[in-house]
Amino acid sequence: MKKTILSGSTVTGDLTLGNYIGAIHNWKQLQEKYDCLYFLADLHALTVFQDPKVLRDRTYSFFAQYLALGLDPQKNIIFVQSQVPEHTELSWVLTCLTPMGYLNRMTQFKEKSEKHVKNINAGLYTYPILMAADILLYQADLVPVGEDQRQHLELCRDIVGFFENRYGEGILKMPEAYIGKSGARIMSLQDPEKKMSKSDENEKNFVSIIDDAKKIEKKIKGAATDSGTEIKYDPETKPGLSNLMTIYSVLSGKTTEELEKEYEGKMYGHLKVDLADVVVQTLRPVREKYDDLMKNKDHLDQLMKSGSERARARSRVTLENVYKAVGLVR
Ligand code: ATP
Ligand code: LTN
- DSSP character string of 73-132: TTTSEEEEGGG-THHHHHHHHHHTTS-HHHHHT-HHHHHHHHHTTT---HHHHHHHHHHH
The model's pLDDT over 197-252, given as tens digits with 9 standing for 90+, comes to 988 889 999 999 999 999 999 999 999 998 888 999 999 999 999 999 999 999 99
**Cα dihedral 14, 20, 23, 24 in deg (nearest 10):** 100
How far is the C-alpha of 155 from the C-alpha of 326, rounded, in Å? 20
Ligand whose nearest atom lies closest to the CA of 38 = 2
What is the predicted pLDDT for the residue at 212?
A: 94
User: Which residues sit with their C-beta closer than 6 Å to ligand 2?
Assistant: 6-10, 41, 44, 131, 134-135, 143, 145, 149
What is the predicted pLDDT for the residue at 271?
A: 97
Residues 164-187 have a mean pLDDT of: 88
Domains, the chain, ordered by start: 4-179+297-326 (3.40.50.620), 203-292 (1.10.240.10)
- C-beta of residue 144 within 8 angstroms of C-beta of residue 7: yes
What does pLDDT average to over the chain?
A: 94
- Please, where are the H alpha helices in the chain? 17-19, 25-33, 42-45, 52-68, 86-95, 100-104, 107-115, 122-136, 150-167, 213-221, 239-252, 256-262, 268-294, 297-326
Atom 14 in ligand 2: which residue has the minimum CA distance? Answer: 10
List Cβ<8 Å contacts ≥24 apart for 50-57: 50/12, 55/11
What is the predicted pLDDT for the residue at 180?
A: 66
Can you give the pTM of this predicted structure?
0.92
User: What is the number of the ligand 2 atom nearest to the C-alpha of 144?
Assistant: 11
User: What is the number of the ligand 1 atom nearest to the C-alpha of 147?
Assistant: 20
* Contacts for 216 with CB less than 8 Å, ≥ 6 apart: 207, 276, 279, 280, 283
Residue 7 binned pLDDT confidence (cut-offs 50, 70, 90): very high
Ligand 2 centre to CA of 144 (Å) is: 9
Ligand 1 centre to CA of 248 (Å) is: 19
At residue 182, does pLDDT exceed 60?
A: no
- C-beta of residue 19 within 8 angstroms of C-beta of residue 52: no
Q: Which of the residues are catalytic?
A: 112, 195, 198
User: What is the number of the ligand 2 atom nearest to the C-alpha of 130?
Assistant: 9
What is the predicted pLDDT for the residue at 181?
A: 62
Higher-confidence position of 113 and 318: 318
Assess whether the C-beta atom of 240 lies below 6 angstroms from ligand 1: no
Ligand 1 centre to CA of 170 (Å) is: 32
Residues 281-299 have a mean pLDDT of: 96
CA distances from 201 to 15, 40, 206 (A): 14, 21, 10
Atom 14 in ligand 1: which residue has the minimum CA distance? Answer: 9
User: What is the number of the ligand 2 atom nearest to the C-alpha of 9?
Assistant: 3
Query: What backbone phi and psi angles, to 5 degrees, belong to 70?
Result: 110, 10
AA letter at 237:
T
Residues 45-62 have a mean pLDDT of: 96
* Contacts for 220 with CB less than 8 Å, ≥ 6 apart: 189, 207, 244, 272, 275, 276, 279
At residue 154, does pLDDT exceed 80?
A: yes
Ligand 2 centre to CA of 238 (Å) is: 31
DSSP code for 24: I
What is the predicted pLDDT for the residue at 266?
A: 95
Residue 24 binned pLDDT confidence (cut-offs 50, 70, 90): confident
At residue 117, does pLDDT exceed 80?
A: yes
At residue 147, does pLDDT exceed 80?
A: no
Query: Of the residues 7, 39, 115, 199, which should be mutated to test ligand 2's pocket, given the most ligand atoms within 8 Å of the CB?
Result: 7
What is the predicted pLDDT for the residue at 146?
A: 77
Question: What are the beta bridge partners of residue 78?
Answer: 38
Q: How many CB atoms lie within 10 A of CB 233?
A: 18
What is the predicted pLDDT for the residue at 58?
A: 96
Query: What backbone phi and psi angles, to 5 degrees, belong to 104?
Result: -60, -25
Assess whether the C-beta atom of 82 lies below 6 angstroms from ligand 1: no
What is the predicted pLDDT for the residue at 227?
A: 84
